[in-house]
C-alpha cells in the first residue's frame, strides 16, 4: 500500500529548505489550490483505476506537479526534490542522485525538458530498495 505525503508534510519540507538556504524572506504558500492539486495528484484515479499505477509514476506526478505548479513564493524546485525523496523513502526506496545531476534534472523538469515517462524512469533508475 502506498503512503502519500500530506500537505502539512510538504509545507514542512518547504520550510526546512527555505531555512536551510537562508531564504526566509520568500517563504510561504503562494497558491493553496495549486499546492493541494500537486499533493493529491499521485492519488488520482480514473474509472476506479489508479491514474499513476506504479510507485515511480506516483513519485513523478508529485515531483512534476510541485515543480511546475509554483505553489510557493520561492523554493519550489528544492521543495519538490525533498518531497519526492521523502515520498520514496516512506515507501521503501532511497533516491540516490549526484547533487549536480539532481539540480539539472529538476531544472530541466521546470523547462519541460523531460516527458512524464522519462521522469518516472529516471526516478526508478536512481532509486534503491531500503
Residue 89 has pLDDT above 80, yes or no: yes
Q: What was the pLDDT predicted at 73?
A: 93
Q: What would the mean pLDDT of 92-107 be, rounded to a whole number? A: 98
Q: What would the mean pLDDT of 97-121 be, rounded to a whole number? A: 98
Domain 7-129 matching CATH 1.20.120.1870: the answer reads: yes
Q: Tell me, yes or no, if the pTM score tops 0.85.
A: yes
Q: What was the pLDDT predicted at 26?
A: 74
Q: What are phi and psi of 104, to 5 degrees?
A: -65, -40
Q: How far apart are CA 107 and CA 112, in angstroms?
A: 9
The domain limits of the chain are 7-129
Tens digits of per-residue pLDDT, 2-49?
999 999 999 999 999 988 888 777 789 999 999 999 999 999 999 999
Burial 85-115 (b: 16+ CB within 10 A, else e): bbbbeebebebebeeeebeebbeebeeeebe
Q: How far apart are CA 15 and CA 123, in angstroms?
A: 24
Instruction: Say if residues 78 and 21 touch (Cβ distance below 8 Å).
Output: yes
Q: What would the mean pLDDT of 110-118 be, rounded to a whole number? A: 98
Amino acid at each position: 500500500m502506498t503512503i502519500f505525503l500530506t500537505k502539512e508534510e510538504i509545507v514542512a519540507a518547504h520550510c526546512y529548505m527555505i531555512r536551510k538556504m537562508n531564504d526566509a524572506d520568500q517563504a510561504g504558500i503562494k497558491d493553496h489550490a495549486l499546492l493541494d492539486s500537486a499533493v493529491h495528484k499521485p492519488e488520482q484515479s480514473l474509472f476506479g483505476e489508479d491514474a499513476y499505477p506504479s510507485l515511480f509514476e506516483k513519485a513523478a506526478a508529485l515531483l512534476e506537479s510541485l515543480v511546475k505548479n509554483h505553489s510557493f513564493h520561492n523554493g519550489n524546485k528544492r521543495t519538490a526534490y525533498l518531497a519526492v525523496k521523502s515520498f520514496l523513502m516512506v515507501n521503501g526506496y532511497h533516491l540516490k542522485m549526484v547533487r549536480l545531476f539532481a539540480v539539472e534534472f529538476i531544472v530541466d523538469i521546470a523547462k519541460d525538458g523531460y516527458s512524464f515517462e522519462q521522469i518516472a524512469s529516471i526516478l526508478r533508475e536512481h532509486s534503491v530498495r531500503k
